[in-house]
Amino acid sequence: MAVSSGEGKTAGQEDPVRRESARQRAGEQGLLFDEQPTALPDDIGYRGPTACAAAGITYRQLDYWARTGLVEPTIRAAHGSGSQRLYSFRDILVLKVVKRLLDTGVSLQQIRTAVQHLRDRGVADLAQITLMSDGVSVYECTSADEVIDLLQGGQGVFGIALGRVWREVEGSLAELPGERAAVEDTVPADHPADELARRRRARRIG
């Protein structure tokens, strides 16, 4: 399974009645969320219990996903007994998306592919993405028209608007403790999701 663009996935787009029905369903499901959310500071990290509370998952899930490489903390990994993982806002956003995909029956293999796809995206881009799935494939939609096309063609059984999830996580974290990360806390530079460390190195070099 690969995360695919939603563009051009359906036929029969000339039917105005079906299209209007699809638009209404998309609106009712909150899939046309296109406001640009405000990002939290990129040097604020959140410990495991806070990440769990904001993402709506158990600590057991958090620990398992970190140990298996599904969603790892990009600010600070656990090193030995007593050390605390530190998750970024982006990490928690992905955790919440993983939880929702699992709840709707998407396979772990599909979720791993989707997570890797999201890791390759810039932080600003994430808020403009809606993930749609027909239970077999996961489609990435970056416009309202793509969401409507999938719903009209029957391919989008459910969807997740990342901009809406962003707002939910932002609201949760506003009530939860965070801590400012030190430079030495960042995950080593070769970590595949360590966008934060790259930005810090660029600032120091420049």
- DSSP for 155-192? --SEEEEHHHHHHHHHHHHTTS--EEPPGGGSPPTT-T
Report residue 198's pLDDT band, with 50, 70 and 90 as the boundaries. Answer: very low
> 132: which DSSP letter?
E
Higher per-residue pLDDT: 54 or 113? 54
Report residue 104's pLDDT band, with 50, 70 and 90 as the boundaries. Answer: confident
Higher per-residue pLDDT: 54 or 202? 54
Nearest-Å Rg of the Cα atoms of the chain is 18
Mean local confidence (pLDDT), 12-37: 65
Report residue 21's pLDDT band, with 50, 70 and 90 as the boundaries. Answer: confident
Kindly report the length of the chain.
206
Mean local confidence (pLDDT), 85-106: 91
Mean pLDDT check: name the lowest of 127-136, 149-158, 188-197: 188-197
Q: CB–CB of 150/132 below 8 Å?
A: yes
Check residue 124 and give its pLDDT.
65
Report residue 13's pLDDT band, with 50, 70 and 90 as the boundaries. Answer: very low
Higher per-residue pLDDT: 71 or 39? 71
pTM listed for this prediction: 0.73
Check residue 182 and give its pLDDT.
66
State yes or no: pLDDT of 49 exceeds 80. yes
Q: Which residues pair with 133 in a beta bridge?
A: 138, 158
Check residue 200 and give its pLDDT.
43
Structure tokens at 24: 């209404």
Q: CB–CB of 54/169 below 8 Å?
A: yes
Structure tokens at 93: 């956003």
Check residue 28 and give its pLDDT.
57
Calculate the CA 156 to chain-centre distance: 18
Check residue 26 and give its pLDDT.
64
User: What angle separates helix 48-55 from helix 59-67, to the nearest 10 degrees?
Assistant: 110
Mean pLDDT check: name the lowest of 6-15, 59-68, 150-159: 6-15
Mean local confidence (pLDDT), 161-182: 87
Calculate the CA 175 to chain-centre distance: 20
Check residue 144 and give its pLDDT.
81
